[in-house]
Amino acid sequence: MTCWGDLSSRNLEAPSIEFRSISTGHDHACGLTRAAAVVCWGANRSGQLDAPSGEFIAVDAGVYFSCALTAGGEVICWGDDEQALTAYGA
């Protein structure tokens, strides 16, 4: 994977692993690995890089938060909780 743009928040420094999919937020990005894990990189001012462990089928990075869908159908969010988004599945 190749990333480009503003390097100030380190969101271009993607890990050297294979991803099924990726999603970009404001200053961070998250990817779903081939092993069904979530890995995030970039700025972590609100905890948006602190992905939970588990088996996931989708991931989406927001502005200062991220969410993922587990294999069991549960949505888990982490990061900025200003809008009470991370309360679901926490």
Domain residues for 24? 19-79
| pLDDT of the residue at 12 | 57
In a domain, 25, yes or no: yes
Residue that is written with structure tokens 């996931």 in the block = 56
Could you tell me the pTM of the whole model? 0.79
| pLDDT of the residue at 10 | 55
Three-state SS for the chain is: CCCCCCCCCCCCCCCCCCEEEEEECCCEEEEEECCCCEEEEECCCCCCCCCCCCCEEEEEECCCEEEEEECCCCEEEEECCCCCCCCCCC
In a domain, 46, yes or no: yes
In a domain, 13, yes or no: no
In a domain, 11, yes or no: no
In a domain, 36, yes or no: yes
| Structural domains counted in the chain | 1
| pLDDT of the residue at 90 | 44
For every one of its 90 residues, what pLDDT tens digit does the chain have, with 9 covering 90 and above?
A: 556 455 555 555 667 789 999 998 888 899 999 999 999 988 888 888 899 999 999 999 988 899 999 999 999 999 887 555 554 444
